[in-house]
């Protein structure tokens, strides 16, 4: 059952859409890649606006882009008076840089922020509601996640004679029951997320290169990050195989 939408007057959703999409191989920014005939970003905008949680949306697009910004403006016009306020900012070199650029553009008084990947165009409204609800109940940070089905091992490059056998060797096996695959939207109270990003902006390049989501920055401050159920339909489109899977999901769901 879908929970009722919970519009919060001061909740902003940041959509990061400034990735290059190199691994997808379309030769265009990933957020423009079509899915069911519509660009990924349009699906993400529909999902966010349709969830009813956001009073404002800020989209980070690639530097120099005109098309994705135009798409946001057209969406706002077509959505009509009920559309959340949509702003567009130039993203950065890394995902964290893009999030920081969007945070700097949020309306004064923004109390809560959800950060969502444009690369997850099929995230269901329920996931947005669960994340927003947890924030309303007092969480400073909340992430949607699903159990891991594969066994996860750590590896290291092989050296010396063993390098002739294979390129990598196993160094450990994680306890699968404790592992979760983490998705977006990730939710935060605005002050916590801003502080986490301010601190991480000072990290050395090597450490900054290891930033793969926003929650890990909050974790590094010692603040609890709560986990709510994600959804397998929130898959992140990174490779051509992901794209095929998303097309199949979309045709089953009937949404375009």
Positions that interact with ligand C5P (CB under 6 A): 16-19, 30-31, 60, 91-95, 98, 117-119, 238
CA distances from 91 to 29, 60, 61, 215 (A): 12, 5, 5, 19
* 66, containing H or E segment: none
CB of 169 to ligand C5P, least distance (A): 27
The DSSP-derived string for 164-214 is GT-SEEEEEE--GGG-EEE-S-EEEEHHHHHHHHHHHTTS-HHHHTT---S
CB of 212 to ligand C5P, least distance (A): 7
Toward ligand C5P, which CB reaches closer, 111 or 208? 208
CB of 93 to ligand C5P, least distance (A): 6
CB of 118 to ligand C5P, least distance (A): 4
Toward ligand C5P, which CB reaches closer, 84 or 92? 92
Answer yes or no: are the C-beta atoms of 170 and 158 closer than 8 Å. Answer: no
Q: Tokens 């959703």 correspond to what residue?
A: 13
Specify the 3-state DSSP secondary structure of 156: strand
Toward ligand C5P, which CB reaches closer, 91 or 144? 91
Toward ligand C5P, which CB reaches closer, 60 or 218? 60
CB of 91 to ligand C5P, least distance (A): 4
* 245, containing H or E segment: helix 240-253
Residue whose Cβ sits closest to ligand C5P: 19
Toward ligand C5P, which CB reaches closer, 78 or 93? 93
């Amino acid at each position: 059952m879908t929970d009722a939408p919970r519009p919060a007057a001061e909740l902003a959703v940041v959509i990061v859409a400034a990735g290059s999409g190199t691994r997808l191989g379309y030769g265009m920014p990933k957020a423009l890649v079509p899915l069911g005939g519509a660009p990924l970003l349009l699906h993400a905008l529909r999902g966010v606006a349709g969830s009813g949680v956001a009073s404002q949306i800020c989209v980070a697009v690639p530097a120099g882009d005109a098309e994705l910004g135009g798409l946001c403006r057209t969406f706002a016009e077509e959505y009509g008076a009920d559309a959340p306020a949509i702003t567009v900012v130039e993203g950065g070199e890394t995902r964290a840089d893009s999030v920081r650029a969007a945070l700097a553009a949020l309306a004064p008084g923004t109390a809560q922020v959800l950060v969502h990947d444009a690369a997850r165009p099929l995230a269901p409204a329920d996931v947005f509601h669960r994340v927003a609800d947890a924030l309303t109940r007092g969480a400073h940070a909340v992430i949607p996640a699903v159990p891991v089905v594969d066994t996860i091992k750590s590896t290291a490059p092989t050296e010396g004679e063993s390098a002739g056998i294979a390129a990598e060797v196993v160094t450990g096996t994680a306890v699968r029951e404790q592992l979760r695959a983490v998705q977006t939207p990730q939710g935060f109270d605005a002050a916590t997320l801003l502080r986490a990003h301010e601190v991480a902006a000072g990290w050395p390049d090597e450490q900054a290169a290891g930033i793969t989501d926003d929650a890990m920055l909050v974790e590094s401050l010692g603040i609890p990050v709560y986990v709510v159920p994600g959804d397998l339909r929130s898959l992140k489109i990174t490779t051509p195989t992901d794209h095929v899977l998303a097309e199949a999901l979309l045709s089953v769901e009937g949404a375009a």
